[in-house]
Amino acid sequence: MTATLIWILVALVVIGLYLSWTAGRLDRLHARIDAARAALDAQLLRRASVAQEVATSGVLDPAASIVLYESAHAARQAEEEQREVAESELSQALRAVFAEPQQVEAVREAPGGEEAARELTEAVRRVPMARRFHNDAVGAARALRRHRKVRWFRLAGHAPFPMAFEMDDEPPTALAERAA
């Protein structure tokens, strides 16, 4: 009788340790998502800021400047529910404005344009990477949260179900060629 109780107690302790480890892992994944989201937000803000700077520099034709400025402004001011759409529209505006390498060269030839072109190239290159890191972390957390043990024992607590950030982040070909 005593041996059976000891074995039951040992089994409960092992199960408790396993569940505690799983809850800790899930917590670390949620912290990783938060960090990745902050990095993504920073990269998106940087891209929009550089796009606005280029749009107001006077090196682009007026129509391209207006399109780029309005898209960048909308991306910076977008509410969370509309953020993915606004960022996708900024990507489309960047592709429209910098479809030809001549546009990039026009920016580079302006005073201070070399620095602006370099910053814009880096910004459009970093956004897809930051989004990929965020979505990878979301995928890992979602996979763990789908396990029965996590659902049955409510190991996720009250944390919201993580959502991927889906947007069009394809860089303009002229800027992508320059980065390569």
Q: Tell me, what's the pLDDT at 179?
A: 54
Q: Tell me, what's the pLDDT at 128?
A: 96
pLDDT digit string, tens, across residues 12-27 = 999 999 999 999 999 9
Angle (CA) 93-95-101 rounded to 5° is 130
Which of these, 79, 99, 83, lies nearest to 171 by C-alpha position? 99
Predicted structure pTM score: 0.90
CA distance 49 to 89: 15
Q: What percent of the chain has pLDDT over 70?
A: 98
Q: Tell me, what's the pLDDT at 180?
A: 53
Q: Tally Cβ neighbours within 10 Å of residue 126.
A: 19
